Amino acid sequence: MTRLHVFVMFAIAAGIVSSLGRAAETQTPAVTALPDAKHHPQARILIVTGLAGEPDYAREFAQQGDASARHAEATGATVTLLTEENAGREGIRAAIETMARESKASDRIVVQLIGHGTFDGEHYRFNVPGPDPTAEDLAAWLKPATAKRQLAVIATSASGAAQDVLAQAGRAVITATRHGRERNASLFGGFWALALDSPGADVDKDDRISADEAFRFAERALAAYYEDHQRIATEHPRLEGDAGSFIVARTRPGEPVEPELLHLVGRVDELTAAIDELKTDRRVLTDDDYFARLQDLLLELARVDQELKLKQQDSPEPEVRVPFLEDDSQ
């Protein structure tokens, strides 16, 4: 089988979250007049679309790359999108090394590869013009990165073979397949892109879709696709590590907040944290007690939220804006 017969969509999506992210060359900033961004954590994403082989795949990969880049930009991430001849082995190496060099420990970095992949029993390879980079290459190029939170999304056939190679502390790895022997054309990337466009993927309704939420959505939609079409599932997506802190899309633009309302935003955060704490205590509480306390917290949260909305409606356009609920402190 030639590599062009193998549908591989290779996407490494490393850390996208950056509510206070600085505008990149391809980025439309979510906010204006930000506080000094130099000391704030950044989210950087490299998206690569590899060789398609056939026009249908080329169109599909381009759409997936564009969708991923557009949604990443909307989160405030710095986005680099490599396509066609720029997406060769050296181009990828250079882009990753740049990202590794420029990122700081508090940053999040994401590498997302879209295209075809192969596994020869020993090495996973991402199909690009010219020599194909292996999973070992990617791991080596990412090694200098000091960012403590990294994410790789490899949505290609055979991509499961890259799991172990890329695994390291602080790096979540998403692959379209469970292992390297799932070699058929992968549809996972399409469902990943669909997740980014789907408000329903935002399970916790915080207006942001995390990589974990996108993965769960795509995994489910993919399984439903194979079932609905009465086809044997030839790919089983896999997520290793914590992808919940990587935001890959927003369901609504971040809204600016008047400085005098920041205390309400802070209260929302406090109440949310209190709810999280209550949930961790659930096992030691009776159901009645737990839900009574939960309701008290939620009612207060509802009132604060309502007050915030009312005051925002009444407010003139703020001179200084900060994004609402864009928390990258995790």
Partner 1 sequence: MIQGARRSLVFANRISGRSNGILRRFGPPLLAALAASVAVSANADPLAQCRVLEISDREGGRDCFRDLLANPSPALRAEAAWALGDIQMANALFRSATTASPGDDAVRARWGELFLSTYQVRDAEALFAQALEINVDNVAAKLGLARVALGRFEARAKRIVDSVLAGDPDNVEANLLAARLALEVGDNERARQSLRSPLDAEDVLLRLEGMALAAAIDHLDGSAPSAWETRALEIHPGYGELFETIAHFYIITRRYTEAIAQLERAVAIDPELWSAHATLGINLLRVNRFDDGRRTLAKAHDGDPYNVEVVNTLRLLDSVDGWEVLADDDVIMRIHPDESGALAGYVKRLVTDAVATVGERYGFVPDYPVVVELYPRHQDFAVRTSGLPGIGVLGVAFGDVVLMDSPSARSVVEGFDWASALWHEVAHVVTLGATNNLVSRWFSEGVSVYEEWQTGPSRFQGADTAKGAARYRAVPIGVVEAHREAEMLTVALLDEGFIRPTYPGQIMVSYNQAGLVCEFIAQAYGQAALSRILVAYRDGKDTVGALEAALDTPHHAVDEAFEAYLDDRFAGVDPAAYEVAMEEAMAAASKDDWVVAAEAARGAIAAYPNAAGNPSPYPILAKAEMGLGNQAAAVDVLIEYWRAGGRSPGALARLADALDDAQRHEDALAVRRSLALTLPLTIETRTRLGDDLLDAGKPREALQEYLAVQSLKPHDAADAHYRLARAYHRLNESEDARRHLLFALEIAPRFQDALSLLLEINQ
The binding site for partner 1 (CB under 8 A) comprises 200-207, 216-217, 220, 227-230, 268, 271-272, 275, 279, 291, 294-295, 298-299, 301-303, 305-306, 309, 325
The nearest distance, CB 326 to partner 1, in angstroms, is 13
The nearest distance, CB 36 to partner 1, in angstroms, is 28
35 contacts 322 by C-beta, under 8 angstroms: yes
The nearest distance, CB 39 to partner 1, in angstroms, is 27
The nearest distance, CB 120 to partner 1, in angstroms, is 35
Neighbours of 3 (CB within 10 A): 14
**Of 62 and 268, which has the nearer Cβ to partner 1?**
268
**Of 107 and 219, which has the nearer Cβ to partner 1?**
219
The nearest distance, CB 30 to partner 1, in angstroms, is 18
Residue in the block written with tokens 């306390």: 293
Burial class (CB in 10 A: 0-12, 13-18, 19+), 284: exposed
The nearest distance, CB 297 to partner 1, in angstroms, is 8
The nearest distance, CB 64 to partner 1, in angstroms, is 20
**Of 38 and 205, which has the nearer Cβ to partner 1?**
205
| Cα(140)–Cα(166) distance, integer angstroms | 9
**Of 94 and 194, which has the nearer Cβ to partner 1?**
194
